[in-house]
Amino acid sequence: MSVLSGKNILLGISAGIAAYKTATLVRAFIKAGANVKVVMTPASKDFVTPLTLSTLSKNPVHSTFTNDDDDNAMWNNHVELGLWADYFVIAPATANTLSKMANGTCDNLLLATYLSAKCKVYFAPAMDLDMYKHPSSIASFSKLKSFGNIMIPATSGELASGLIGQGRMAEPEDIVDFIEQDIIDGLPLKDKTVLITAGPTYEAIDPVRFIGNHSSGKMGFELAKTAASLGATVILITGPTHQTVNHNLITVVPVTSAQEMYEAAHLHFNNSDIAILSAAVADYKPKNIATQKIKKKESTLTLELEKTKDILASLGQIKTNQFLVGFALETNNELEHAKLKLKKKNLDLIVLNSLNDKGAGFKSDTNKVTLINKEEQETVYKLKSKTEVAADIFNTIIKTIHA
């Protein structure tokens, strides 16, 4: 998963030979999980067809304010297009289009949309090397950047004129990488490492049986995805679960037992800025694990259990500058038990949820939580999706560490 996943990208194409690369660029944005719409200058259709781009983007391609072939057609609303976009990417951006953007000339749909856009705008110049170095082009680059637009620099190489030099539009994959990195650089958890534990642990009885619990891992995985969307590098230590995640900022560390989770958490804790322990770790494990499958001989079976290591408490004892978050799933005296856990385990924040609340707890897609900070201040939230709960938790963490 990319930081562009679920984002709306409006691709503006002007009339340069590099327009042939935009088919690949659309595919790259789609592969990153983005929604893509395309607006073209009329002349750019000489270099790449709207049919190709609409097929790849799965959206109509616009190049004029009205459809001259259809008397009943609605006008193409440049304001609506501009407001739809989370990011506006103009590639290729020719010298002509850049000059018009810099000076507010509005003589086609692309330019009208640019002047209406409220989102961040990226532009990828494409022109011959003498044009790229011309004072008027340099002035356009400078003016557009002063407006807050982001320039994706042209590269050096063989140009359409046969000359070799700077002016070649950045390759589609490099444009996507540039935008992803620029977005990450502006996120609140950039350069932060977040350690998250998720799911249950399984404590072996014999080679085929175990003691476990009903944790699905959904909450922990939503926390990991939220942390990555905020720019953090995430270490996700997860017990056995059907949950999956694919994000270039998330490293998944699979474990099975409480001991394995303990060792993995301690391995990564020192290099973490934030640690959120949402896993449902077994409190007890069989003292002796049978090496062979236990046969059903008697009507009862007695297992001797011993305590597992308390991962959260052990991290609370050794933490230095880490922001440590624990979870408390309670069935009675919820607030009292959560606050005791907060202090006893040296936490900065505890997330309380109760099995008495319908829609909260294991396996469900929703949760109802109360956040309690170090000063024992309580913030109660209504029943929400676990995605929204993860956002609430990180909003609280970010506000606290930046206070």
**Residues catalogued as catalytic:** 213
Strands 61-62 and 35-40 come out as parallel
d(C-alpha 99, C-alpha 140), whole Å? 6
What contacts 131, CB < 8 A, 6 or more positions away?
Answer: 95, 137, 167
What would the DSSP string read from start to end of 340-376?
A: HHHHHTT-SEEEEEETTSTT-SSS-SEE--EEEETT-
Find tokens 């961040």 and name the residue: 120
d(C-alpha 134, C-alpha 140), whole Å? 10
d(C-alpha 60, C-alpha 50), whole Å? 8
The residue type of 63 is S
Find tokens 């606050």 and name the residue: 339
Structure tokens at 42: 């009329």
Burial level of 335, CB count in 10 A (0-12/13-18/19+)?
middle
- Are 172 and 152 within 8 A, CB to CB? no
Strands 370-373 and 378-380 come out as antiparallel
What size, in residues, is the chain?
403
DSSP symbol at 69: T
